[in-house]
Chain A
Amino acid sequence: DAKTTQPNSMESNEEEPVHLPCNHSTISGTDYIHWYRQLPSQGPEYVIHGLTSNVNNRMASLAIAEDRKSSTLILHRATLRDAAVYYCIGSQGNLIFGKGTKLSVKP
């Protein structure tokens, strides 16, 4: 499993895009990049995952660097409900969580 590095916290304004970075320089070729988020008092929630190509779903977009050593989770229009801790995980097996990035969204 890859070691990931994320900023401890980030702030965003409501309805603006948010780019959450993650470094995973030790990622292997078969490790997927997963993003989960955890809202207060809840269990983690799946956001998105990918291997090499950029990915889009209804929640977010995942941009993966060509060398796969970093990725960026993009929330296109942040809402107050997006305030959470976001975890980036590089894994081909179990989900190994780091400390994540605490995202605050200001109205």
Chain B
Amino acid sequence: DAGVTQSPTHLIKTRGQQVTLRCSPKSGHDTVSWYQQALGQGPQFIFQYYEEEERQRGNFPDRFSGHQFPNYSSELNVNALLLGDSALYLCASSLVNWQGTEAFFGQGTRLTVV
């Protein structure tokens, strides 16, 4: 089992551009959550997807959007990139009723906006 895989691992974008990050959940998991982690801070919850719909959302602007596919993989899209969007973006997978189980995180995508 490959666990949670994220791609790409690193990328550099220019302010104002758009970016798409990808996540494949752990086998058997149906829920994907996305987090943004700035340097020296804890991960901040962006949103969670289940059954191809956004279930919950953190305090992030509409520039952040996502998608979940029938195979449970997910994408995070960020439009009109700002310098402040530079961060590590983490994907976590879990089961929808996950409280009795653990969430698995990918290694993250390091986004640098210049």
Contacts and interface: CB of A to CB of B under 8 A. Distances in A.
Contacts of A96: 45
A32 B99 contact: yes
Contacts of A32: 99
Interface centre among A32, A87, A97 (most CB of B within 10 A): A97
A98 B40 CA distance: 11
Contacts of A94: 33, 45, 48, 56, 58
Interface in B58-103: 58, 90, 92, 99, 102-103
B88 to A, nearest CB: 8
Nearest to A85: B42
A12 B95 CA distance: 35
Given A32-B99, A43-B90, A44-B90, A97 B107 contact: no
Interface string B28-43: 0000010100000111
B25 interface: no
A92 B99 CA distance: 6
A98 B44 CA distance: 8
Nearest to B56: A94
B44 A97 contact: yes
25 contacts: A42-B107, A43-B4, A43-B90, A43-B92, A43-B105, A43-B107, A44-B43, A44-B90, A44-B92, A45-B105, A46-B103, A49-B102, A87-B42, A92-B99, A94-B33, A94-B45, A94-B58, A95-B33, A95-B43, A95-B45, A95-B103, A97-B43, A97-B44, A98-B42, A100-B42
Interface of A: 32, 42-46, 49, 85, 87, 92-100
